[in-house]
């Protein structure tokens, strides 16, 4: 039954995405052009990479509000590195950014898993620390396009086997994450810790290690996304991606990741990210004022979590009714 | 015949008196004063010290109900957005021709309504944590503020409106007097009424409280509404201080408010903490900010200091407890 509803939910999301696309296309014919689609998908790639990490965190009943700041910090550090040493290989730049993000994630994981600070408090605090460090690292200045070597900017514009690098990286990460959460022991343990921490502990799962792992993965992915972001927009600023964590959380809850932990699928967050990407891209094309975007995003999050909760209630009621007494 | 009354207070002991979290805060405030006095000769001046409260007390009004919320084991990260929304609505209505008195009343009403919506959502959808509900409403409320004012500022308030943020009662800033009154009311509510005891009960064990006849849902709605109302009060003072309103005002207030409450010794696990600690923490962070501002430390460095202070405040009691506690859900 629950599998059925989950499938229904994904089909529903897909149908909604198609309807939305057709609707936008009717209003503005430049929506379904190759250029716009390409632009939209590359934009969504970064969001969807972050959504993978956020899903892992939310699966464990946590939340990470610091990823916008982590993204900015690692993007800034890698941008500073390539502007100082222009001959640096792009892969090294990616490595630096991911490394910075990983360190951020490790710190968060330590705070949440070891010191047992509530995720919301720990990430709220570190969000400010990382954001402050981003300004400190750059001295409040921007790193702009002319300071970056072409090889660095090519990370986002180049292509691999005919697919844009960003999309290729996202696909690779999704494939790896799919295998990880569905077919490895550690991956399944993440679900176990989220759906019932007490039973997980009783069955010998070290939840501390799992928590440490998910926040570190989140950090590393945010670091990677930081490099991709800076390379794509060819500018690193102190306020890069402020509030972006909210979009990522929205993508996750839209994709059916339960905020209560333990439930969420890779296929769901793919659809969630795409839907959010379309919304972000389509609203300006429909001449919706930019000032409405924030409200719409919040309403979408609220609607999605309430919808998830109601669906869950329906499932639970069905289970109760089918139970033989 | 001798009768004995059983008191519900613990007997006084020097040991537990000295080992109070509040003394650490007092010591930290003293340290901040010594540090600041060394850094800047302008710091230790009673007039400056009083005036400084005008700069940081606006958010302190939100700290008071936030103590209640965190005591119940919940959290509200939408407060800064409520400040922005109620301030923007007030400014917009005033510019549209509503008398200022009415606009201020609407400001308070909008704040309470926002808080009430938070409370109702949290009570009606128990499977959702207050984190995600207030995260969503945080975006929605600020989103509405942006829809109303876009990137404009609204202001040109009547002269007397400046009183809230800039004027004195005798030698004391009005905002300090107002805060003292509110703090007294909230302290009384928390420590001297059944309502206050029920908050502790809910924070310790919501299920047990419910079965012992505590109206958990109603109290939650009341407390979240109170948080909305006090956010609107903060909006009044902040708007008066700034002289105009913008949709992006008060950004980051939620962090500062939560930091103050947690630093004040209120446990994020719920059920533990006192009002006095939070009030001390208001002045600790306030004067720390003020002093660092005097010696031109950048806003970005302050962000780092504030974030670390928040983490320090949560981490220290945990380390002190030594043992791991079972995670609450």
Would you call A297 an interface residue with chain B, using a CB distance cutoff of 8 Å?
Answer: yes
Contact between A52 and A222 (Cβ < 8 Å): no
Helix intervals (H) in chain A: 2-27, 34-59, 67-84, 90-109, 119-138, 150-157, 165-183, 185-195, 197-202, 207-233, 244-254, 266-285, 293-322
Task: Give the pLDDT score at B327.
Answer: 40
Assigned domain for B255 exists:
yes
Return the residue of A nearest to B143 by Cα: A295
ipTM: 0.83
Return the residue of B nearest to A300 by Cα: B136
Q: What percent of chain A is predicted at pLDDT more than 70?
A: 97
Domain coverage including residue A261: 2-319
User: What's the average model confidence in pLDDT over A13-37?
Assistant: 85
Would you call A84 an interface residue with chain B, using a CB distance cutoff of 8 Å?
Answer: no
Assigned domain for A324 exists:
no
Would you call A47 an interface residue with chain B, using a CB distance cutoff of 8 Å?
Answer: no
Domain coverage including residue B258: 42-315
Which A-chain residues 193-212 have CB contacts (< 8 A) with chain B? 197-198
Q: Which residues contact B9 (CB under 8 A, 6 or more apart)?
A: none
Task: Give the pLDDT score at B4.
Answer: 60
| Among B75, B303, B306, beta carbon nearest to A120 | B75
Instruction: Work out the mean pLDDT of chain A and round it to a whole number.
Output: 88
**What is the C-alpha end-to-end distance of chain A, expressed in Å?**
19
Q: Do residue A302 and residue B136 have CB atoms under 8 angstroms apart? A: yes
Give the CATH number for residue A138. 1.10.3470
**In whole angstroms, how far apart are CA B81 and each of A126, B75, B302?**
21, 14, 21
Assigned domain for B260 exists:
yes
Assigned domain for A36 exists:
yes
| Among A115, A124, A298, beta carbon nearest to B139 | A298
Return the residue of A nearest to B148 by Cα: A291
Q: Which residues of A touch B308 (CB under 8 A)?
A: 125, 129
A138-194 per-position pLDDT tens digit: 887 888 888 888 888 888 888 777 778 898 999 999 999 999 999 999 999 999 999
Domain count of the fold of chain A: 1
B328: confidence class by pLDDT, cuts 50, 70, 90: very low
User: What's the average model confidence in pLDDT over B16-36?
Assistant: 83
Q: Do residue B268 and residue A131 have CB atoms under 8 angstroms apart? A: no
Q: Which residues of A touch B325 (CB under 8 A)?
A: 116
Assigned domain for B145 exists:
yes
The whole model's pTM is what?
Answer: 0.87
CA distance B153 to chain A (A): 14
What is the three-class DSSP state of A156?
helix
CA A184 vs. chain centroid, Å, equals 21
Domain count of the fold of chain B: 1
A301-318 per-position pLDDT tens digit: 898 888 888 887 888 888
B146-163 per-position pLDDT tens digit: 999 988 888 888 888 888
Assigned domain for B142 exists:
yes
Burial class (CB in 10 A: 0-12, 13-18, 19+), B3: exposed
- Which of A147, A149, A171, A148 is CA-nearest to residue A159? A171
Task: Give the pLDDT score at B223.
Answer: 97
Assigned domain for B104 exists:
yes
Size of interface A-B (CB pairs under 8 A): 148
Assigned domain for B4 exists:
no
Give the CATH number for residue B90. 1.10.3470
For chain A, give the longest Cα–Cα distance. Answer: 72
Assigned domain for A325 exists:
no
Q: Do residue A125 and residue B324 have CB atoms under 8 angstroms apart? A: no
């Amino acid at each position: 039954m629950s599998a059925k509803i989950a499938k229904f939910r994904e089909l529903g999301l897909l149908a909604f995405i198609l309807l939305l696309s057709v609707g936008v296309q009717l209003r503005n014919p430049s929506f379904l052009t190759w250029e716009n689609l390409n632009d939209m998908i590359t934009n969504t790639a970064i969001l969807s990479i972050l959504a993978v990490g956020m899903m892992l965190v939310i699966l464990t009943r946590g939340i990470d509000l610091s990823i916008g700041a982590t993204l900015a910090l690692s993007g800034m550090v890698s941008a500073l590195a390539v502007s100082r040493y222009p001959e640096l290989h792009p892969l090294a730049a990616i490595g630096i950014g991911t490394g910075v993000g990983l360190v951020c994630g490790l710190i968060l994981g330590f705070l949440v898993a070891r010191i047992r600070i509530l995720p919301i408090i720990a990430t709220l605090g570190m969000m400010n620390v990382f954001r402050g460090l981003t300004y400190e690292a750059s001295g409040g200045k921007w790193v702009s396009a002319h300071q970056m070597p072409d090889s660095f900017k090519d990370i986002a514009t180049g292509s691999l086997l005919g697919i844009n690098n960003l999309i290729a990286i996202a696909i690779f990460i999704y494939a790896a994450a799919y295998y990880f959460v569905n077919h490895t022991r550690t991956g399944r343990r993440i679900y176990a810790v989220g759906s019932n921490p007490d039973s997980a502990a009783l069955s010998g799962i070290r939840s501390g290690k799992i928590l440490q792992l998910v926040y570190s993965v989140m950090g590393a992915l945010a670091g990677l996304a930081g490099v991709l972001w800076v390379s794509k927009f060819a500018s690193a600023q102190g306020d890069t991606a402020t509030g972006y964590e909210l979009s990522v959380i929205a993508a996750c809850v839209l994709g059916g990741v339960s905020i209560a932990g333990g439930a969420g699928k890779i296929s769901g967050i793919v659809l969630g990210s795409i839907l959010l990407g379309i919304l972000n891209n389509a609203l300006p094309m429909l001449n919706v004022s930019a000032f409405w975007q924030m409200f719409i995003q919040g309403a979408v999050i609220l609607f999605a979590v309430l919808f998830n909760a109601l669906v869950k209630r329906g499932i639970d009621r069905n289970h109760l009714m089918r139970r033989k007494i | 015949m001798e009768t004995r009354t059983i008191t519900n207070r613990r007997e006084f002991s020097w040991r537990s008196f000295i080992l109070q979290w509040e003394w650490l805060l007092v010591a930290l405030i003293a340290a901040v004063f010594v540090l600041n006095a060394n850094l800047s000769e302008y710091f230790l001046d009673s007039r400056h010290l009083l005036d400084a409260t005008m700069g940081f007390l606006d958010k302190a009004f939100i700290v008071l109900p936030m103590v209640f919320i965190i005591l119940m084991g919940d959290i509200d990260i939408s407060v800064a957005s409520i400040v922005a929304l109620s301030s923007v609505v007030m400014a917009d209505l005033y510019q549209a021709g509503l008398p200022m008195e009415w606009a201020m009343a609407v400001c308070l009403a909008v704040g309470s309504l926002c808080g009430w919506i938070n409370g109702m959502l949290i009570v009606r959808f128990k499977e959702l944590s207050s984190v995600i509900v207030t995260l969503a409403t945080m975006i929605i409320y600020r989103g509405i503020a942006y829809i109303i004012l876009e990137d404009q500022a609204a202001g040109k308030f009547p002269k007397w409106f400046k009183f809230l943020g800039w004027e004195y009662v005798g030698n004391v800033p009005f905002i300090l007097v107002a805060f003292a009154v509110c703090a007294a009311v909230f302290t009384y509510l928390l420590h001297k009424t059944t309502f206050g005891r029920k908050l502790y009960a809910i924070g310790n064990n919501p299920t047990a409280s419910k079965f012992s006849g505590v109206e958990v849902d109603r109290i939650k709605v009341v407390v979240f509404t109170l948080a909305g109302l006090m956010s609107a009060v903060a909006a009044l003072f902040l708007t008066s201080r700034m002289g105009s309103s913008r949709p992006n005002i008060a950004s980051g207030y939620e962090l500062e408010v939560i930091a103050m409450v947690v630093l004040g010794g209120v446990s994020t696990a719920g059920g533990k903490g006192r009002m006095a600690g939070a009030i001390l923490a208001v002045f600790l962070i306030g004067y720390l900010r003020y002093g660092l501002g005097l010696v031109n430390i950048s806003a970005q460095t302050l962000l780092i200091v504030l974030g670390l202070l928040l983490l320090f405040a949560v981490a220290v009691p945990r380390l002190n407890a030594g043992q791991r506690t079972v995670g609450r859900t």
